[in-house]
Amino acid sequence: MTTSSRTLGTWFSTFEQVAFRLETLDDYSRSGGVDAFHAFLAGEEQPESYRTADWVGTVAEAARAGKRMYRVHVLSRPLTDYLRFELAWGYHRNMAAGEEFFILDTTERENPIPQAPDFWLFDDETVAAMNYDGNGTYLGADFPDRTRLDEFRAYRDTAMAHSVPFAEWWAQYGA
């Protein structure tokens, strides 16, 4: 792994065309939006702070600039409580700001990328490998050496080839 002179947060404002995210976990509940997650579980309204979070502005700004932000989430049914929250609240909120989502559902088939880590790929040239503990707590990002770009591009390409647009998946399986 190498380090980048930029932080992960900086990449969201400096990428030029495309930011891709692969999500592989069933639970990110200790990595942000904790109050919103608890509100969701309690059947309450979305907190205003969640609806207007900084991330929504980041996505909207990128979309206004003609940049593409998209992600694939590898998951299986039945959904965890966290995934029900993330898809019902988070994905719909972020879609309204301009982010695109795809689902690679492994419920009835093998995962075509079982060893793939969570990561962001910026402009097809910079990888930020996301690190989490076993409880879904974000630990930081590493920036793998450029010699590994083809590996991460292959994860992305395989994930996209086996996924469906979120709206299509949600219409069939959403809660």
Task: Write 6-13 long-range contacts (CB < 8 A, 24+).
Answer: 8/120, 8/128, 8/141, 11/120, 11/122, 11/126, 11/128, 12/58, 12/62, 13/58, 13/61
Structural domain including 86 reads 8-173
pLDDT band, residue 7 (cuts 50/70/90): confident
* 138 occurs within a structural domain: yes
pLDDT at 61 over 50: yes
As a whole-number percent, the residues of the chain with pLDDT over 70 amount to 96
Residue 32: pLDDT over 90: no
Instruction: Using pLDDT thresholds of 50, 70 and 90, give the confidence band for residue 5.
Output: low
Quote the pLDDT of residue 1.
44
Number of domains in the chain: 1
CATH number at residue 168: 3.30.870.10
| Position 1 in a domain | no
Structure tokens at 25: 């976990």
pLDDT tens, position by position, 103-150: 999 999 999 999 999 999 999 999 999 999 988 899 999 999 999 999
Q: How confident is the model at residue 175 (pLDDT cuts 50, 70, 90)?
A: low
Q: Confirm if 122 and 7 have CB atoms less than 8 A apart.
A: no
